[in-house]
Structure 1
C-alpha cells in the first residue's frame, strides 16, 4: 500500500512538472499562429538591452572567426612550398653557425642537411623565406670562383637571419594574442553572453507561463449566455476571476518580474564590462610590438645590404 502511495506521489510530481511545460508550449504555439491577443509585452528598455547584447554577440563571433587564425602557426605559410624534413630540421641560425666551421663544399652541404637537434622548425612565411634565402646563399657560395665572397650570397645569408628573427617575433605576437585577446573574447562569448542568454530564456519561460495561466483562467470563467440572448453567439468572458485564479496569476506575475529584473542585471553587467575593450587593446599592443620589432630588424639589415650593393658597383 505504501509503495502504491509512493508511486502515486511520483506520478503527481511528474504531472506537475509536465503541465507547466505543456502549457508554455501550447501558449507559444498559439502566439506563433497568431491566435493569442493578450501577449505580455516586455519593457522597451529590456528590449533595447536584448538588441545590444545580440550586437555584442555578433561582434565577438565575427572577430573570433578571423582572429582565431592566430592560433594556427602556419596561417601565412604558402601552400605551394615543398620543404623537406631536412629543411625543417634546424634553425637558420644553427645552420649558419655550422656553415661557419665548414672548410669544404662537402662539409657545407653536411651542415645544411644536419639532423635535427630539436622539434621541426616553424612553418611561417618569414621562416620559409629565411630557409629559402639561406639555401640560395649557399648555392651561390658553392659556385663562386672569384676572390672574396659573393656579395649577393652574403646579403642573402644576412637576410635569412633577419627573416628568422622576424618570424620568431611573429610567433611571440601570436602567443600574446592567444592569451590576452582570444582567451578573453572566448570567455565573454561562451560564459558572460551565455549567462545573459540563459537569463533571457528564463524571462521568456516565465512570460509564457504567465500568459498561459491568464489564458487558462479566463477560459475557465467563460459562461454561456442566458435569458433572451442568442444561444449561437460566442460566449462572453466574465471579468471577475476566482480568488485562486487571481492568486495564481499574481504569483506568475511576480516570477516574471523577478526573472526580468535578473536578466536586466545580467545583461547590463555584460554590456558594461570593459574586458572586451581591454582585450582589444592587448591585441593592438601585440601587433604593434611585432611590427616595431620587424621594423627594427629590417632597419639594421637594410644599410648592410646597401653597402654590399655599393661595393659591388664600385668594384665592377
Structure 2
C-alpha cells in the first residue's frame, strides 16, 4: 500500500510540473475569450507598437513574394494561345541562323531549319516565342521567293535580324530572373520563414507567460475567496503565494524584453531593403540590355524600310 501511495504521489507531482501549467493556460485563455476572467495583464505600449510593425512587415513580404515568385517560373510571360512543336523548340535562333547561312539550296535551308534539336529545349518566354515566329516568317518568305531573286527580300532580312535581337532580349530576361531568384526571392523568403518566425516564436512565449501569470493570479484569488475573504485583497496572500506570483511576473517581464529585442532586430535589419535594391538592379540591367539590343537593331530596320520605299516609288514612277 505504501508503494502504491508513493507511486500516486509521483504521478501527481509529474502532473503538476508538466501538464498543469499548460492546462491552466488553456483554461484561462478560454475564460478570457468568454469574458469570465478579471483584470488582464497589459503589455507595454512599446511592445504593442513593435507587434504592429512586425505584422506589417510580414504582410509586406507575403504580398510582394506572392507576385515576384513568378520570376522563378520560366514561362510566366509565355503566350498560352500559341502551339510550338518539338522542332520549333529545338535549336536556338542563333544556331538556326548559322545553319541557314551555310545552306546553298532551298532543300538545305529547310533541312537546316528543321535540324535535330539540341539536348536542352529552348526557353518558353515571350521574347523567345517572338524570335521563333519571326525566324519562321523569314524562312517562309525566303522559300516563297523565286530562285536566284536579287536583292534579298527586305522583310525576310528584317525578320531574321529581329529574331536574333529578340532572342538576346529573352536571354537577358532569363538572366534577370536568375538574379532576382538568388538576390531577392531567397532573401525575402528567408526573412519571412526565419527572422519573422523567430519574432512570432518570441511573441508566443510572451503570451504563454502572460497567461501563466494571470492564471496563477486567478487561482490565488479563488483560494482567498474560498476562505471567505475578499479575493482582491492582496494582503490576504500568503508569502508563498506572493513569491509564486512575483516569480511569474519576473518571467513575464523577461519574456517581454526578449521578444522586444528580437522584434527590433527583425525591424532594423537592412537585409530586406538590400534585397529590394538587388531586385531593382536586376530589372534595370534587363531593361538596359533590351534597350541596347533594340537600339542597335532599329536603325538597320529603319534603313531597310527607307530603301524599300524608295524602290517602291521608283517602280511606281517607271510604271
Q: Provide TM-score, normalisation by structure 1.
A: 0.93
Q: Distance in 2 between matches of 1:311 and 1:299?
A: 19
Asked whether 1:218 is paired with 2:221, we answer yes
Measured after TM superposition, the shift of residue 118 of structure 1 is: 2.4
Pairs within 5 Å for 1:1-316: 9=10, 12-145=13-146, 146-223=149-226, 236-237=230-231, 238-239=233-234, 240-316=236-312
Q: Structure 2: where are the runs of 5+ without partners?
A: 313-319
**Contact 1:130–1:164 under 8 Å retained in 2:** yes
Q: Structure 1: where are the runs of 5+ without partners?
A: 226-234
**Contact 1:223–1:236 under 8 Å retained in 2:** no
Q: Distance in 2 between matches of 1:27 and 1:5?
A: 31
Deviations 1:128-157 (A, max 9, x none): 000000000000011112322100000000
Q: Distance in 1 between matches of 2:70 and 2:276?
A: 16
**Contact 2:79–2:126 under 8 Å retained in 1:** yes
Q: Distance in 2 between matches of 1:295 and 1:135?
A: 24
**Contact 1:173–1:289 under 8 Å retained in 2:** yes
Measured after TM superposition, the shift of residue 26 of structure 1 is: 1.0
- Identify if the C-alpha distance between structure 1 residues 224 and 273 changes in structure 2 by more than 3 Å, giving closer, same or farther: closer
- Identify if the C-alpha distance between structure 1 residues 217 and 140 changes in structure 2 by more than 3 Å, giving closer, same or farther: same
Number of matched pairs: 307
Q: Distance in 1 between matches of 2:7 and 2:248?
A: 29
Deviations 1:179-219 (A, max 9, x none): 00000000000000000000000000000000000000111
**Contact 2:224–2:230 under 8 Å retained in 1:** no
Measured after TM superposition, the shift of residue 117 of structure 1 is: 2.1
Pick which of 30-39 and 65-74 moved more.
Answer: 30-39
**Contact 2:134–2:159 under 8 Å retained in 1:** yes
Q: Distance in 2 between matches of 1:315 and 1:92?
A: 30
- Identify if the C-alpha distance between structure 1 residues 306 and 30 changes in structure 2 by more than 3 Å, giving closer, same or farther: same
Deviations 1:94-134 (A, max 9, x none): 00000001111111111111111220000000000000000
Measured after TM superposition, the shift of residue 270 of structure 1 is: 0.3
Pairwise CA RMSD: 1.7
Pick which of 240-249 and 71-80 moved more.
Answer: 240-249
Q: Distance in 2 between matches of 1:163 and 1:194?
A: 43
Quote the residue 1:228 is aligned against. Answer: none
Q: Distance in 1 between matches of 2:47 and 2:23?
A: 26
Deviations 1:14-52 (A, max 9, x none): 442110011001110111011112100001110000000
Measured after TM superposition, the shift of residue 267 of structure 1 is: 0.1
